[in-house]
Amino acid sequence: MAISFKLFLDERTAKGNGQYSLKLRVTYNRKHKVVPLNVILQKEDWNSTTQKVKPSHPNAKLINIKVNQTLNEIQEKALKYETLEKVYTVDDLSCTNNPNTLTTFNAFAENEIASLMNAGRVGNANAYRDASNKLIRFASNKPIRFENIDYKFLEQFTQSMLSDNIKVNTVAIYMREIRALYNKAIKADIVEQKYYPFSKYKIKTEKTISRALTAKEMKAIVKLGLEPNTPIWHSRNYFLLSFYLIGTNFSDLFKLTCSSHVDGRVIFNRSKTHKVYSIKLNSSAAGILSIYKTSLASHYLLPVLSIGDNPDIAKKKVKQAIKTTNEYLSKIAEQCKIEKEVTTYYARYSWANIAKSLGYSKDIISEALGHSYGLAVTGIYLDNYGNEIIDAANEKVIAAVIK
């Protein structure tokens, strides 16, 4: 009996953002077997008639080639069984062993990166790319099966990075991305849960030097005399605005638009966690934003990004703006006689440090910063109070550095 194939999007379960898994149904002797292909697609990127990924997908050519490789592998296996006159089942055919198919870590990571880029999530895509490239280079650029990424493999990979003088916390960043990819592969039925290596392997971190300023040091930065409309003056404005908005990440800060300003509050989704933030726009923050309000038609609240910037260009602009700001923050620290390597990160940590010095609990501070840890019960109480507690805390923190 002839073998038949059918490629289809599994619409029973959406993966998020309207995406579905592409799967292969193999039929032989009236028995069916569904083979996951580790491909996640939007409906509009799949042509069910031609059984091909449409050119609209950025990785269409690669995916179509690799899917064809899987089909060819199954057909070759059937031909081999028939040549040897061996009895075989549809299960025998569907157990593919070709390390070049999308069942490898290499191909899975590549497809995830392409999907993120296509969705405009450049930061997440770059994080996956950096981590996966590190792992693939460690494996001598050979295909890596998920089942082979075990405790021993991860320990050897970790020691390899440490011997290259990569810091412990940087290693932890790479390992979190690899863990995230492994978790996605399990959900996509690429690898079984029993092979999950992170139950035994624990990601290690080390305590870093405090990146926080005191209220006195923040006051010095606020009061420092700088010539208006100079690069160093703008850099201080960005730093203080981040601080006044409870340490808002600079990437999110530069992406704020006019629509983010609603009823005296700044409302936005944080890029890293996708959590919605709603921060009261106090007079100090409003004063800085008014400097950059050129016209009602202006799209962004700060003059870093432009309408029409694609995600990749926007990412580069933000990265450069942060780099420039850090260079001037170093000069500002020097002028204020602050013996710390002040960077944009200091705005967030300094807010938390000053809030703590004012007597606010860890749970209030965590809620303000949008952290998921802290007491769950406290989180419920804060939700009931709305934003009032956080607004009051922010006012006191700001008052501690401007008065």
pLDDT tens digit sequence for 152-181: 999 999 999 999 999 999 999 999 999 999
Cα(241)–Cα(344) distance, integer angstroms: 11
Q: Where residue 184 falls among pLDDT bands split at 50, 70, 90?
A: very high
Cα(104)–Cα(125) distance, integer angstroms: 18
Q: What would the two tokens of residue 204 be? A: 């290690």
Q: Where residue 296 falls among pLDDT bands split at 50, 70, 90?
A: very low
pLDDT at 30: 79
Q: What is the mean pLDDT of residues 107-115?
A: 88
Question: Reduced to 3 states, what is the DSSP secondary structure of residue 211?
Answer: coil
Is the predicted pLDDT of residue 31 greater than 90, yes or no? no
Taken as a whole, the chain contains a residue count of 403
When computed from its CA atoms, the radius of gyration of the chain, rounded to whole angstroms, is 26
Q: What's the count of helices (H) and strands (E) in the chain, helices before strands?
A: 15, 8
Q: Note the pTM of the prediction, 2 decimals.
A: 0.59
Cα(145)–Cα(394) distance, integer angstroms: 49
Cα(125)–Cα(109) distance, integer angstroms: 10
Q: What is the mean pLDDT of residues 297-325?
A: 88
Give the best-scoring range by mean pLDDT among 141-150, 154-163, 267-276, 370-379.
154-163
pLDDT, greater one: 30 or 373: 30
pLDDT at 94: 62
Are 212 and 349 contacting, i.e. CB atoms less than 8 angstroms apart?
A: yes
Q: What is the mean pLDDT of residues 321-344?
A: 95
Q: What is the mean pLDDT of residues 332-345?
A: 94
Degrees, nearest 5: CA angle 395-235-298: 80
Q: What would the two tokens of residue 156 be? A: 């050897």
* AA letter at 2: A
Buried/exposed 159-170: b ≥16 CB within 10 Å, e otherwise:
eebeeeeeeeee
Give the best-scoring range by mean pLDDT among 138-147, 193-202, 298-307.
193-202
Is the predicted pLDDT of residue 100 greater than 50, yes or no? no
Question: Reduced to 3 states, what is the DSSP secondary structure of residue 12?
Answer: coil
Cβ neighbours of residue 117 under 8 Å, at least 6 residues apart?
58, 125, 311
Q: For residue 128, give Cα distances in angstroms to 119, 181, 294.
A: 14, 8, 38
Q: What would the two tokens of residue 159 be? A: 């020691």
Count of alpha carbons within 13 angstroms of residue 158, beta-carbon side:
20
Count of alpha carbons within 13 angstroms of residue 210, beta-carbon side:
9
Look-up of token digits 């260079």: 327
Lowest-confidence pick of 207-221, 236-250, 359-373: 359-373
pLDDT at 122: 82
* AA letter at 178: I
* AA letter at 295: S
* AA letter at 376: A
Is the predicted pLDDT of residue 212 greater than 70, yes or no? yes
Cα(256)–Cα(292) distance, integer angstroms: 12
